[in-house]
């Protein structure tokens, strides 16, 4: 099998799984319990928080564990609206956010908020100037992702954070960094971002664990759920200790020779692009510079068929995001791609485990697909 869908999820390296197994079977205490097993679990959570925070260059207290990137996004958005409830109801975001941001924003629009969805250019890019031009007195939230999950475009998060500060905007700045963490520079504290979302399963960690960075200047952030006092009273629910341990172990492993891993991924991406563009009709979609995501299109060959056929040939890729299951991607629509290009678009994504053989297999499988299917007009 050739797995080229690391933006959907990643394999869990054995040391991560082993660490989780150890926690599940031996260090299974509840971090709130007061006897040694519980205290050990509380220490484990604190140590893991410190590991993830160090990778982000922020204080451990600024990081709250959640169940996934989707929860972090939903929470950040709802909390920001509550925080700015007396200042207004205007939100700025983009038309290419992941559904974990887009859907809560659409729900808020139905509840009376006004949302400006900035459109990307045809290459998938968003500029800081677009954000600043949309800014108003009553803007209470700006939500901008770090790396787009379909095109791999990197958005100017640091520049937006600086510009919002210079303009003395009262709006909170949230960034969905699920695809960016440990792939591109990501420094919420140094950049002055208010809220930033993360997910472990995009970097070799288990599914079902995420985190939200909360700027220490934000006092009394409203929790999304109500319950026990875990996570500084911000996120109730017994801490998922094994997942948390897996998250931290995955971060440690990724950080080993990270620069080398990233440049290998970028080199494989470049080689893959060059190779696939020799297939007649193949087009690149967007010019994402993230090292792990490459978006292409074979107009006339519907991406759902490409993905299924390649899957049968043992090559795993996806049609844009793994999350929209067959529906036309809002990202490609927002970029103004032609219907044919959008319909034939697919995403190839790389991880530290990806090899040249995987790229060779992808190339051969696409050639087979083209040879065995009649193109649609």
Question: What is the per-residue DSSP string for 100-116?
Answer: HHHHHHHHHHHTT-EEE
In the chain, count of helices (H) and strands (E)?
Answer: 13, 12
C-alpha distances in Å from residue 166, one per residue of 171, 202, 302: 12, 33, 46
CB 279 within 8 A of CB 370: yes
Nearer to ligand PLP, 90 or 174 (CB): 174
Establish whether 323 is a catalytic residue. yes
Nearer to ligand PLP, 100 or 262 (CB): 100
Catalog residues that contact ligand PLP under the rule CB under 6 A: 68-70, 73, 98, 100, 145, 149, 176, 178-179, 199, 210, 323
C-beta nearest to ligand PLP: residue: 69
Listed residue (327, 309, 326) closest to 365, CA to CA: 309
Nearer to ligand PLP, 235 or 340 (CB): 235
Distance of closest approach, residue 7 Cβ to ligand PLP, in angstroms: 6
Contacts 24+ apart (CB under 8 A), 322-330: 322/5, 322/7, 322/8, 322/9, 323/98, 323/99, 324/99, 329/150, 330/95, 330/96, 330/102
Distance of closest approach, residue 73 Cβ to ligand PLP, in angstroms: 6
DSSP code at position 155? P
Distance of closest approach, residue 76 Cβ to ligand PLP, in angstroms: 11
Nearer to ligand PLP, 176 or 299 (CB): 176
CB 91 within 8 A of CB 139: yes
Which one of 68, 271, 272, 323 is the catalytic residue? Answer: 323
Nearer to ligand PLP, 100 or 342 (CB): 100
Nearer to ligand PLP, 37 or 323 (CB): 323
Distance of closest approach, residue 130 Cβ to ligand PLP, in angstroms: 19
Classified as helix, coil or strand, 143 is strand
Distance of closest approach, residue 11 Cβ to ligand PLP, in angstroms: 15
Residue 104, CA atoms < 13 Å, CB-side half-sphere: 22
* 172 bridge partner residues: 141
DSSP code at position 75? H
Distance of closest approach, residue 309 Cβ to ligand PLP, in angstroms: 23
Classified as helix, coil or strand, 2 is strand
Total number of residues shown for the chain:
377
Q: List active site positions.
A: 323
């Amino acid at each position: 099998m050739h797995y080229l869908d690391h933006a959907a999820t990643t394999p869990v390296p054995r040391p991560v799984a082993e660490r989780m197994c150890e926690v599940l079977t031996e260090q299974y205490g509840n971090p709130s319990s007061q006897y040694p097993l519980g205290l050990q679990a509380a220490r484990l959570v604190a140590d893991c928080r410190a590991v993830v925070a160090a990778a982000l260059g922020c204080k451990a207290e600024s990081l709250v564990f959640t169940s996934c990137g989707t929860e972090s996004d939903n929470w950040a958005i709802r909390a920001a609206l509550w925080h700015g409830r007396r200042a207004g109801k205007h939100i700025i975001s983009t038309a290419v956010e992941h559904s974990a941001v887009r859907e809560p924003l659409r729900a808020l629009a139905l509840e009376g908020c006004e949302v400006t969805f900035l459109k990307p250019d045809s290459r998938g890019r968003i500029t800081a100037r677009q954000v600043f031009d949309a800014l108003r007195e009553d803007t209470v939230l700006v939500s901008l992702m770090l790396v787009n999950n379909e095109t791999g475009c990197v958005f100017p998060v640091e520049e937006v954070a600086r510009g919002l500060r210079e303009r003395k905007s009262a709006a909170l700045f949230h960034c969905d960094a699920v695809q960016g963490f440990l792939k591109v520079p990501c420094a919420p504290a140094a950049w002055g971002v208010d809220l930033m979302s993360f997910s472990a399963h995009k970097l070799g960690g288990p599914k079902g664990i995420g985190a939200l960075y909360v700027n220490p200047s934000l006092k009394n952030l409203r929790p999304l759920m109500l319950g026990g006092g875990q996570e500084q009273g911000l996120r109730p629910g017994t801490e998922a200790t094994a997942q948390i341990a897996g998250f931290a172990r995955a971060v440690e492993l990724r950080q080993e020779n990270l620069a080398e891993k990233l440049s290998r991924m970028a080199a494989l991406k470049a080689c893959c692009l060059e190779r696939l563009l020799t297939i007649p009709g193949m087009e690149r979609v967007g010019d994402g510079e993230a090292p792990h995501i490459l978006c292409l299109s074979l107009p006339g060959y519907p991406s759902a068929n490409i993905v299924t056929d390649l899957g049968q040939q043992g090559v795993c890729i996806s049609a844009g995001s793994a999350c929209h299951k067959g529906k036309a991607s809002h990202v490609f629509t927002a970029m103004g791609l032609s219907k044919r290009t959008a319909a034939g678009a697919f995403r190839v994504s790389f991880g530290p485990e990806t090899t040249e053989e995987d790229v060779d297999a992808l190339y051969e499988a696409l050639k087979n697909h083209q040879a065995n299917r009649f193109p649609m007009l």
